[in-house]
Amino acid sequence: MPEAKLHDGSTIEIEVHGAGPTVLLPVNPRPAEGPKADEMRKWGMDPALGRSLVEGLGDAFQVAAFDYEGHIMATPKADTLTPDTIAADLLAVADAVGADRFAYYGYSWLALSGLQLAIRTDRLSALVMGGFPPLGGPYDGMLKVTIATHELAAAAAHAPQDRQEPVEQPGDGQTPDEYDWDTAEVTISEPQARQFVTLYEALRGFDDRSVQPLISCPRLCFVGSADEISYGERWGDVHVSLAGPIINRRAELEALGWDVHVLDGLDHTQAMQPTHVLPVLRPWLLSQIGR
């Protein structure tokens, strides 16, 4: 199994499947099992999300799957997770599988990472961003949310053990529609939270309109029409609109060369599931880079 050496000296495993043009997928190719899988199903998530995407593309492409999010949560890059280092990490993965040119698909902050990669390299054959707008991205809102999350994580880390409240996991006794950010507890460590503050601090003032001419490859973005997230008071009462910028600026995006898909009625979690992603992603990749 190939491994890539990342910017901090750590290594990440890569699973390679199929043959043809290379597609980088920053997903966990190993299905979740047991209670974790049950919890994911409860929230409408495919426990084999990464594996399903790999299998859905592997007959037409060489798919390089690597769990980048899982890696940075296991090995936090608290002070070094920036657009530059993320792009370097993604290029290291491409190098490890011998791909001089490659397509990239990422969802949510991994879609943001794809945009940052695209403006730093000419090696991309295609870019697909899911669940994060290429124009009008909510960078300020996400910085506020990540700062608040970090403050909560830091406070929890310094609380006396005998005074810490039981941590409520998202979904405990709730349905997704009932989830309340006002009562939610932070379940990540201080270094895990701080790395995202580092990322969004580096993106403070980022002008995603001005960088559009730097993207030279075919590009697709998609989003669920209900992808709007309102964080509670403890997170600064921030509303993060992921669907709005794509829906409202669709004509501008298309004029800039983006293909745009809006998945009617789907929220952030629903729009990332393979049953919705593959019918958009696969035919588009075939039309752009398929043999």
Please write the tens of the pLDDT for every residue from 188-221: 999 999 999 999 999 999 999 999 999 999 999 9
3-state secondary structure of 8: coil
Segment 260-284 shows an average pLDDT of 97
Rounded-to-integer distance, Cα 208 and Cα 136, Å? 7
3-state secondary structure of 265: coil
- One-letter identity of residue 60: A
Rounded-to-integer distance, Cα 284 and Cα 239, Å? 31
pLDDT reported for residue 178 = 43
Number of helices (H), then strands (E), belonging to the chain: the values are: 10, 11
**Cβ atoms of residues 268 and 225 within 8 Å:** no
pLDDT reported for residue 35 = 81
Rounded-to-integer distance, Cα 252 and Cα 85, Å? 30
Determine which of 60-74, 143-157, 249-263 has the lowest per-residue pLDDT on average.
143-157
pLDDT reported for residue 46 = 82
Residue 232's pLDDT band, with cuts at 50, 70 and 90, is: confident
Chain-wide mean pLDDT for the chain? 90
**Cβ atoms of residues 285 and 126 within 8 Å:** yes
Segment 125-134 shows an average pLDDT of 98
Q: Helices marked H in the chain — which ranges?
A: 34-42, 49-57, 68-74, 83-96, 109-118, 139-158, 190-202, 244-248, 250-255, 274-289
Segment 31-39 shows an average pLDDT of 82
Please give the residue that has the higher pLDDT: either 89 or 41: 89
Segment 90-116 shows an average pLDDT of 98
